[in-house]
Amino acid sequence: MDLEHTEEVSIVTETPQPAPVPAPPASPVLKVSLQDALNASLWENSVPVLLELALQNETDRSFSQIDVTVSSEPPVIRPRAWHLQQIDPGQFRTLKDLDLKLDGAFLSTQTEASRATVTFLATDKETGEELTRHTTDVRVLARNEWGGLSGIPDILAAFVMPNDPAIARILRSATEVLKKEGLSSSLEGYQGSKERVWQQAQAIWCAICQLDLAYINPPASFIDYGQRVRLPSQIVEDRLATCLDTAVLFAACLEAVGIRPIIVLTQGHAFTGFWLAKLDAGVSVMQDLPALRNRLKLQDLAVFETTLVTAGRKPSFSVACEKGEANLRHAGEDEENTFREIIDIHRARLRRIYPLSCTVPSAPAEDQPEAEEPEAALPAFEPAPVLREDPQEMEEDKPSTPADRLQRWCNRLLDMSGRNRLLNLPRSDKQLIVVDCPNPSELENHLAAIRSGRLTKPLRFCPWPDMMDEGDPRQASLHHERHHEDAARAYAEEALGRNELLVSRKENQLQAALTELYRRARAAEHEGGSNVLFLTIGALAWTAEGRDKPYLAPLILIPVILERPSVKSGFVLRAHPDESRINATLLEMLQADYGLRFPALEGETLPEDESGLDVDRILELFRRWAALRARLGSAGLRHADHTVLCQVPDVERPAGTQ
């Protein structure tokens, strides 16, 4: 190795240098959060435009006073300023007073959606130096534009305008309708009976039918994202309306006479209802469809299809109510009929959601010419239906004596669990057949007539025919439009007159289930010597502790006999000689576990009508009780419409005895 030519190698180690420290920002920063959209309905109902405003000073400078100002172009937001004292380096100051004043005149004349540029500016007051600015765009909606359920749902109540000049003209026509029918022409709200409330709503229906409105399709997805709502004066002038337009128009007329309206929103549709007594939903936005259906059956509420006022042949108000009830019955059956929410206008008013102001001045009455009424056939004015007044509420029973406490202890020895079929109906298709019966009271009366011998023909089980569905080329919607009739419901209501019980099963599936029930019932009767086959009406859904899924306990038990005259013939149903009765085991459970009694259902004497049990009154007691518990916030118990043929234990013996 040649050492002479060896080069020296030096190892140089670089000393790491610290990362450069970023220079502090040259100016403070504004933090701003605004609503994405604004319009008259939001502003008039105290929805804040400015959600957050703060100044962050990350500079190394101190400021003795900073002014923050806001302006917009076009000038929808009125200019205003905030004054901040002594802002030191590193400080973050949040401003508290965020109320921005909008130009009401500008919003009121906004007929189309547009955009506005909003500018926030921070300046040093001592030097006049502009420190920072923040610019953002917001949508300025038309005055009559509702933002849909994706926004603030009950702001829809702002478009219900009982003080619009067109409403007064409609109500004058309604008084003439009442006068023509020989009724009081007063529109007095709830000062009379439920029938009187219904009469006033019917008069408003007839008055709006006279406007001869034409239907126009709403925008797609208007329920979620909203639409421009035609206000009453525009509807009367243009004679055009969507479903939401008609719903809002009727709600405004009802509210103007002191009747509390609701607006029902389903997927892609809207219609109106009203409380028959001085009641409300308890909340401004309600999503509980079963509770709504119960209030309808209790005759606390009526709903009607508002778009029928645009039909060529104007149907009666009762037909519109039938269609509205059908809408609620079918809600939830498919995606097109999904129930969304109801907006209770009275509750929205209590939340201080007020109607839009009427900005269009009207001429004095003597100078204002009467609008020429269109030629439209007046629908038939019908007598109001007989509506039930509120029955006596059920009583709570708390044991106060040793005997009462002993009885309650004895009741707890009964089988009150899901093992008892009187508290938990079977769910298997082989053990239970659901009967489609729109009027269970008529069914009980029919079986009572068979039991007494007044009727001799038994009831036959029939599968549903192809009723304007996939196997029928006719359209149910076209049939309803022409005849104002729900064909399927009408067919079901007429079934008892044909001695038929309709079941939603194919013929072979129905016969197989009847055969299985027939064999089980005969075997149980031979073994135990008593009838175990019942037609049950109504049910109470209750949830046991530790369970997620509810049980179904039957309310009314009608003993029946399933017969098959020959192997080749179909099954028929006859009434058993035993009387119909209430599910006493369920009453015992409600008294033992919930401390509740139903005095009208205790003892040997039960509510009766001319044919047998008063089924309507019994079901109403349970519905009202369930509705009361729901309003009090109690969960776990719910009334359900349920008519089934199944086996249950001998109801003459307490469950669990041998």
- Spans of the chain below 70 pLDDT: 1-25, 332-337, 359-377, 388-418, 466-483, 528, 545-547, 567-568, 603-604, 628-636, 649-658
SS3 assignment, position 447: helix
Residue 322 C-beta-side C-alpha neighbours within 13 Å: 16
Please give the domain boundaries of the chain with CATH numbers for all domains. 29-143 (2.60.40.10), 156-350 (no CATH), 399-458+531-647 (no CATH)
CA 238 to chain centre: 30
Tokens in use for 294? 């119960």
pLDDT of residue 641: 84
Model's pTM, two decimal places? 0.62
Q: Determine the Cα–Cα distance for residues 593 and 434; give it in Å rounded to an integer.
A: 29
- Which residues make beta-bridge pairs with 515? none
CA 6 to chain centre: 96
Using alpha carbons, select from 101, 52, 108 the residue that is nearest to residue 358: 108
Angle at 225 between CA 233 and CA 237, to 5 degrees: 15
The answer for residues whose C-beta is within 8 angstroms of residue 3's C-beta and 6 or more apart is: none
Which stretches of 143-193 are DSSP H helices? 165-180
Q: Using N-to-C axis directions, what is the helix angle for 194-209 and 317-330, rounded to 10°?
A: 100
In this structure, the number of other CB atoms found within 10 A of the CB of residue 247 comes to: 30
DSSP letter at 100 equals P
Q: Determine the Cα–Cα distance for residues 573 and 211; give it in Å rounded to an integer.
A: 52
Q: Determine the Cα–Cα distance for residues 149 and 134; give it in Å rounded to an integer.
A: 30
pLDDT of residue 546: 65
**Cis ω for the linkage preceding 74 (within 30 of 0):** yes
Which stretches of 54-164 are DSSP H helices? 104-108
The answer to whether 204 touches 250, Cβ cutoff 8 Å, is yes
SS3 assignment, position 596: strand
Q: Determine the Cα–Cα distance for residues 236 and 167; give it in Å rounded to an integer.
A: 9
Using alpha carbons, select from 359, 363, 353 the residue that is nearest to residue 110: 359
Q: Determine the Cα–Cα distance for residues 514 and 516; give it in Å rounded to an integer.
A: 5
The label of the residue with tokens 């149980």 reads: 524
Angle at 191 between CA 187 and CA 192, to 5 degrees: 90
Q: Determine the Cα–Cα distance for residues 309 and 206; give it in Å rounded to an integer.
A: 9
pLDDT of residue 205: 96
pLDDT of residue 99: 82
Q: Determine the Cα–Cα distance for residues 269 and 336; give it in Å rounded to an integer.
A: 9
Q: Determine the Cα–Cα distance for residues 374 and 211; give it in Å rounded to an integer.
A: 6
Q: Tell me, letter by letter, the H, E, C secondary structure of 255-288.
A: HHCCCCEEEEEECCEEEEEEECCCCCCCCCEECC
- Cα–Cα distance list, 553 to 226, 290, 531 (Å): 42, 17, 19
- Cα–Cα distance list, 526 to 475, 518, 530, 576, 653 (Å): 50, 12, 8, 16, 17
Task: Give 81-90 contacts, CB < 8 A, sequence gap 24+.
Answer: 82/53, 83/125, 84/55, 86/62, 87/28, 87/55, 87/57, 87/62, 87/63, 88/57, 88/62, 89/24, 89/57, 89/58, 89/59, 89/60, 89/61, 89/62, 90/57, 90/58
SS3 assignment, position 120: strand
Tokens in use for 122? 């921070």
pLDDT of residue 653: 43
Give the DSSP H/E element, type plus range, for residue 450. Answer: helix 440-452
Q: Determine the Cα–Cα distance for residues 207 and 170; give it in Å rounded to an integer.
A: 6
Tokens in use for 129? 């130096």
On the 0-12 / 13-18 / 19+ scale of CB atoms within 10 A, 22 is exposed
Q: Determine the Cα–Cα distance for residues 194 and 540; give it in Å rounded to an integer.
A: 28
Beta strand ranges found along 74-113 (DSSP E): 80-87, 92-94
Q: Determine the Cα–Cα distance for residues 427 and 432; give it in Å rounded to an integer.
A: 7
Residue 386 C-beta-side C-alpha neighbours within 13 Å: 0
What distance, in Å, lies between the first and last C-alpha atoms of the chain?
114
